[in-house]
Amino acid sequence: MSATIFLDTSRLRPLLSNSIIEDSQEAILAAHNLLTNRTGPGSEFLGWLDLPNTARSLSPMIKQAANSIKANSDALVVIGIGGSYLGARAAIEALSNSFSNQNQNTTKIFYAGHNLSSTYHAELLEVLEAMDFSINIISKSGATTESAIAFRLCKELLERKYGFVEARKRIFATTDAQKGALKALANQEGYVSFVIPDDVGGRYSVLTPAGLLPMAVAGIDIDKLIQGAAQARTDLAPPNSSNPCYRYAALRNILYQKGKRVELLAAFDPGLQSFAEWWKQLFGESEGKDGKGLFPATAIFSTDLHSLGQYIQEGSDILFETILKVDRSRRQILIPEAQEDLDQLNYLAGKGMDYVNDCALRGTVQAHTEGSVPNILLTLPELTAYSLGYLFYFMEKACAISAYILGVNPFNQPGVEAYKKNMFALLGKP
C-alpha cells in the first residue's frame, strides 16, 4: 500500500486496544460490501467512487476553459455554496501562495453566494468594478437561494461592464446535465458549460468540474490531483482494518460508542483551514441524522491553542482529536539571530520555523493525550496536488464507510431543507 498517508493510532491506548480495533473487521467488511456492491442506502449517488478515472477525460476541456479565463480576466468569481465551492477553495488555499490575491501576476479567485451578507457582496462588487473578471456559477439546480442571488448580482455587473454579448463569454456554468434553471439558462445564453454528474452529490464533487475548473484557473496541476485520487482509489480498496482509510472510519465509530460526541480535526498549517471546512461539511451532512453522529469541529493550531486549548485540555470529556500533519512545508524559513536577544529566542537561531511548529505539534499531542483526550495522527509527507487529491479521496471513502458502520445514509441531507422551508415562508416565496 502507498505511503502517501500514515495513520498513527498509538495514542489511543490504553483507551482502545488492538483487539477492539480488530473486532471491528466484521463491521468494516459489511460497510465495504454495501459501498462496493452499491447495495447500501444512497447507492444512486456513488459516481464519486469512479471520478479518479473519469475525470481524466475532462482535463483538456477544463484546462482550455481555464486558459481562456486567465487570458482575459484579472479575477474569477466562484459562485456556489457547500460542496459547490468548498472543495475548490480547499485546494486553492492549500496549494497556492497564501497571498496570491495580492499578486498582480496571478488570476485572483473570489467567492460569492456562500453567504447572505449584503455587506460582503456589495464590497465584492466594488472590487470587481475596477477589474476584468469572469464568473463560474456552480449549482445543480440553479435555484439555490444564496448562489442564485449572488449570480444575479454579479451577472448584472458583468453585463453593465461588457454588454450582453461579451458577458455571455465570461460566464462558465457548472450544473446538471439536462435539467434545472441554470442548465436552461446556459443553453439559452450559450454559456460554456460543465456537468456535475447525476450520481455525484455536492459534497463529493471535488473531482468534478465544480472543483477542477476553479483549481485550474488558480494554477493548480489538476492532472496531478486526479492522479493522487486515482492512487488512493487503488490503495484504499482492501476491506480490512489495516487499510488506513477503513481503520480511521472504524476508530471514529468505536470512540463514538465509547461516549465521544465531537471529533476535532486540527491542522498546524493555516493553508488547511478551508480543507477543514470541506471535511466538516462532508462528515456533518453525511453522518448527522437519525439522532446519530459525531459533531465535526475544526481548529488551526497553534492559533486555536490560544482559544480552544484550555477547553481541550481540561474541559468536558466529549471529544477526540484527529491531527492532520504535513511533514515538509513547501517553503522554509530560518529564525535569525538577534544581537540583543531581548526576546530570548537566540537558542532557536538558525533553526527553521517548521522545527518549532513540529515541536508545538508533538508537545500538543503529548499534553492532550496526558489530559485524556484521544488522538489520531494523520500524516502527509508533503502538501502537493498529488497528496491533496489522495487526501480528498481518503476522506470521502472514510466518510462513506463510517456512515454505513453508523447505520445511516451517507448521501442524503433531509435536515438541510428545514431552514429553507422556514426561510421561504418568511420571504413569501410563491
Q: Which of 26, 306, 340, 417 is catalytic?
A: 306
Q: Are 55 and 114 a contacting pair, CB within 8 Å?
A: no
Q: How many domains does the chain have?
A: 2
d(CA 119, CA 95): 29
Q: Are residues 300 and 190 in the same domain?
A: no
Residue 12: per-residue pLDDT: 86
In a domain, 201, yes or no: yes
Q: Cell 511533514, residue?
A: 327
Q: Are residues 86 and 27 in the same domain?
A: no
Q: Are residues 324 and 378 in the same domain?
A: yes
Residue type, 314: E
**Residues forming beta bridges with residue 138, ordered by sequence position:** 174
Told to judge if 420 belongs to the known catalytic residues of this protein, a careful annotator would answer yes
In a domain, 415, yes or no: no
Mean predicted confidence (pLDDT) in 8-32: 83
CATH code, domain carrying 66: 3.40.50.10490
Q: Are residues 211 and 293 in the same domain?
A: no
Residues 202-211 pLDDT 10s: 999 999 999 9
Q: Which of 146, 285, 287, 396 is catalytic?
A: 285
Residue 255: per-residue pLDDT: 94
Q: Are residues 62 and 207 in the same domain?
A: yes
Host domain of residue 109: 45-220
Q: Are residues 146 and 251 in the same domain?
A: no
| Domain end position, chosen among 196, 220, 244 | 220
d(CA 279, CA 265): 8
Residue 203: per-residue pLDDT: 95
Question: With pLDDT > 70 as the criterion, what percentage of the chain qualifies?
Answer: 98
Average pLDDT, the chain: 93
d(CA 177, CA 146): 21
Three-state secondary structure readout of the chain: CCCCCEEECHHHCCCCCHHHHHCCHHHHHHHHHHHHCCCCCCHHHCHHHHHHHHHHHHHHHHHHHHHHHHHHCCEEEEECCHHHCHHHHHHHHHHCCCCHHHCCCCCEEEEECCCCCHHHHHHHHHHHHCCCEEEEEECCCCCCHHHHHHHHHHHHHHHHHHHHHHHHHCEEEEECCCCCHHHHHHHHHCCEEEECCCCCCHHHCCCCHHHHHHHHHCCCCHHHHHHHHHHHHHHCCCCCCCCHHHHHHHHHHHHHHCCCCEEEEEECCHHHHHHHHHHHHHHHHHHCCCCCCCEEEEEECCHHHHCCHHHHHHCCCCEEEEEEEEEECCCCCECCCCCCCCCCCHHHCCCEHHHHHHHHHHHHHHHHHHCCCCEEEEEEEECCHHHHHHHHHHHHHHHHHHHHHHCCCCCCCCCHHHHHHHHHHHHCCC
CA dihedral 364, 370, 372, 373 (to 10 degrees): 10
Q: Cell 529564525, residue?
A: 335
Residues 348-358 pLDDT 10s: 999 999 999 99
Residues 80-130 pLDDT 10s: 999 899 999 999 999 999 898 888 788 999 999 999 999 999 999 999 999
Q: Are residues 244 and 158 in the same domain?
A: no
pLDDT at 193 over 60: yes
d(CA 252, CA 263): 8
Q: How confident is the model at residue 1 (pLDDT cuts 50, 70, 90)?
A: very low
Told to judge if 337 belongs to the known catalytic residues of this protein, a careful annotator would answer no
Residue 14: per-residue pLDDT: 66
**Residues forming beta bridges with residue 263, ordered by sequence position:** 296, 320
Residues 234-275 pLDDT 10s: 999 999 878 999 999 999 999 999 999 999 999 999 999 999
Q: Are residues 266 and 187 in the same domain?
A: no
φ and ψ at residue 172, rounded to 5 degrees: -120, 120
pTM: 0.95
Q: Are residues 251 and 150 in the same domain?
A: no
Residue type, 160: R
Q: Are residues 60 and 203 in the same domain?
A: yes
Question: With pLDDT > 90 as the criterion, what percentage of the chain qualifies?
Answer: 85
**Residues forming beta bridges with residue 375, ordered by sequence position:** 321
In a domain, 420, yes or no: no
In a domain, 225, yes or no: no
Mean predicted confidence (pLDDT) in 13-34: 83
Residue 424: per-residue pLDDT: 87
Q: Which of 292, 420, 421, 429 is catalytic?
A: 420
| Domain end position, chosen among 220, 250, 282 | 220
Residue type, 317: D
Residues 160-186 pLDDT 10s: 999 999 999 999 999 999 999 999 999
Mean predicted confidence (pLDDT) in 298-314: 95
Q: How confident is the model at residue 224 (pLDDT cuts 50, 70, 90)?
A: very high
In a domain, 216, yes or no: yes
In a domain, 257, yes or no: yes
Q: Are 127 and 110 a contacting pair, CB within 8 Å?
A: yes
In a domain, 204, yes or no: yes
Radius of gyration of the chain (CA): 23
d(CA 81, CA 86): 7
Mean predicted confidence (pLDDT) in 277-298: 97
Angle at 253 between CA 359 and CA 296, to 5 degrees: 60
Q: Are residues 397 and 341 in the same domain?
A: yes
Residue 3: per-residue pLDDT: 54
In a domain, 300, yes or no: yes
All three cell numbers of 339, joined, read: 544581537
Told to judge if 321 belongs to the known catalytic residues of this protein, a careful annotator would answer no
| Domain end position, chosen among 220, 245, 272 | 220
Q: Are residues 35 and 94 in the same domain?
A: no
d(CA 140, CA 173): 10
